Structure 1
Amino acid sequence: MNWTDLSSVGYPTLFLGVLVGSIVPIVPTGAVVGAAAAIAMTTGHLSLPLVLLLAAAGAMVGDVVTFAVARLGSDAAVRWLARGQKPERLVAARRRFARQGWQLVVVGRLLPAGRIPVLLAAGAIAYPWRRLLPATAVACVLWAVAYALLGVLSGGLFDSPLVATFLAAVLVLLVTGVINLVARRRRERVGNRG
């Protein structure tokens, strides 16, 4: 392996970053995908189709592992995965999952902080693997495309890989912040009505 070639380091970093961030949300996976897409747009070191494929694959493997731990794992493993999640959010996800399973898998992957409660709820109610896997595949492809588009946009605006990568990360963080703000305001409005 040639460690001076960006593709030798970039592809494994992308896949592993998304995989780890999908299991333990310590890596900003959207920013990783956006940055890789920006690099693909501004250099010849990464291929955009491979970026999309590896991002979707890493996200899918991570989501399947999270679901498997929730479905097959011990109570301690589920508590470890659920740390940092508000209990009322998990309870609400369980109730809705019974009615709208596959839609929740897709939307949960696309919304910041929605994936883990949805996957834990799916595991807790023993959602069938045969339904989860196709929904997860669709969700991960849509997620990879959405965040790669932010990188493509920044790569199209700037020729510098460094500037494009920085802008992609900033765009991802801004989009995530706006989505969180809108979701919080919506929850507050619904809570005030009830």
Structure 2
Amino acid sequence: MSGDTRFDLWYLIALAGAVLVGAVLPVLPTGAAVSAGAVLALHNNPIGLGGVLIAGMAGAYAGDLIVYAGCRFGGERLAKRVGWLRDNASLDALRVRLDAHEISVLLTSRLIPGGRVPVLLAAGLAGYPWERFALVDLAASSLWAAVYMAIGLLGYALFDEPWQGVLAAIVLVVLVTVLSSLVQRARRKRAAAKSDSE
């Protein structure tokens, strides 16, 4: 095994680990890590893109399974202690949406910044079937990794230097996150104003 191959392998293991930690304790910008990994893979070894996709998906999937298992078996007390559960009212609304549109809610929750943990809480605390969750979340984690890898590819396409592409990918991820948060906040305000007027 060559030095470059060994480095690539350790880099992918570190990427998967960072995404896993960020999925369990949402403090790391895991999407930015996958986007930056895609830029670096394209500059150094385009074949490594598959590894970045697999590492990002595997870390996200393992982290989601840990959070789901914690909610399922640890209940609300563990979720509150870890800091996953803050608002019971929105959790109840998510349970209703999960019952009505389970697959689409689970698939899109990973793509909406701040949407994944509440949906995992709702699924885990409501006793959503483990096998079905594992299957749908595999698709959701794969979709998430592909989307953030595509953001990295866009950063690579815009700039020649790897550091510029990585910076562009991180800025794009931050912009997507901020815009999504603003849209969600506007929707909540509109819904609150509508319910107040009724």
State the TM-score, normalizing by the size of structure 2. Answer: 0.90
Structure 2 partner of 1:142: 143
**Aligned-pair CA distance for 1:86:** 3.3
Query: Does the aligned pair in 2 maintain the 1:41–1:156 contact within 8 Å?
Result: no
Structure 1 partner of 2:69: 68
**Aligned-pair CA distance for 1:82:** 3.9
Quick check: 1:56 aligned with 2:57? Answer: yes
Quick check: 1:157 aligned with 2:151? Answer: no
**Aligned-pair CA distance for 1:64:** 0.7
Any gaps of 5 or more consecutive residues in structure 2?
none
Equivalent residue letter for 1:146:
V
**Aligned-pair CA distance for 1:40:** 1.2
SS of the counterpart of 2:110? helix
Quick check: 1:89 aligned with 2:86? Answer: no
From the superposition, tell whether residues 56 and 41 of structure 1 become closer, same or farther in structure 2 (CA, over 3 Å): same
Q: Distance in 2 between the 1:72 and 1:192 partners?
A: 37
Q: Which sits farther off after the overlay, 90-99 or 140-149?
A: 90-99
**Aligned-pair CA distance for 1:159:** 2.2
Query: Does the aligned pair in 1 maintain the 2:109–2:119 contact within 8 Å?
Result: yes
Query: Does the aligned pair in 2 maintain the 1:111–1:179 contact within 8 Å?
Result: yes
Query: Does the aligned pair in 1 maintain the 2:95–2:126 contact within 8 Å?
Result: yes
Structure 1 partner of 2:117: 116
**Aligned-pair CA distance for 1:19:** 0.4
Equivalent residue letter for 1:122:
A
Q: Distance in 1 between the 2:5 and 2:144 partners?
A: 30
**Aligned-pair CA distance for 1:124:** 0.8
SS of the counterpart of 1:31? helix
The CA RMSD measured in Å over matched residues stands at 2.1
From the superposition, tell whether residues 148 and 140 of structure 1 become closer, same or farther in structure 2 (CA, over 3 Å): same
Structure 1 partner of 2:38: 37
**Aligned-pair CA distance for 1:90:** 2.0
Equivalent residue letter for 1:125:
A
Q: Distance in 1 between the 2:161 and 2:106 partners?
A: 36
Q: Distance in 2 between the 1:167 and 1:100 partners?
A: 35
Any gaps of 5 or more consecutive residues in structure 1?
none
From the superposition, tell whether residues 162 and 84 of structure 1 become closer, same or farther in structure 2 (CA, over 3 Å): farther
Query: Does the aligned pair in 1 maintain the 2:113–2:180 contact within 8 Å?
Result: yes
Q: Distance in 2 between the 1:96 and 1:112 partners?
A: 18
Q: Which sits farther off after the overlay, 2-11 or 109-118?
A: 2-11
Q: Which sits farther off after the overlay, 90-99 or 129-138?
A: 90-99
Runs of 4+ in 1 over 6 A off after TM superposition: none
**Aligned-pair CA distance for 1:83:** 4.1
Query: Does the aligned pair in 1 maintain the 2:32–2:170 contact within 8 Å?
Result: yes
From the superposition, tell whether residues 27 and 66 of structure 1 become closer, same or farther in structure 2 (CA, over 3 Å): same
State the TM-score, normalizing by the size of structure 1. Answer: 0.91
Structure 1 partner of 2:180: 179
Seq. identity, %: 37
The total of aligned residue pairs comes to 194
- Alpha-carbon deviations, 1:131-159, whole Å to 9, x = none? 11111011111100111111001112222
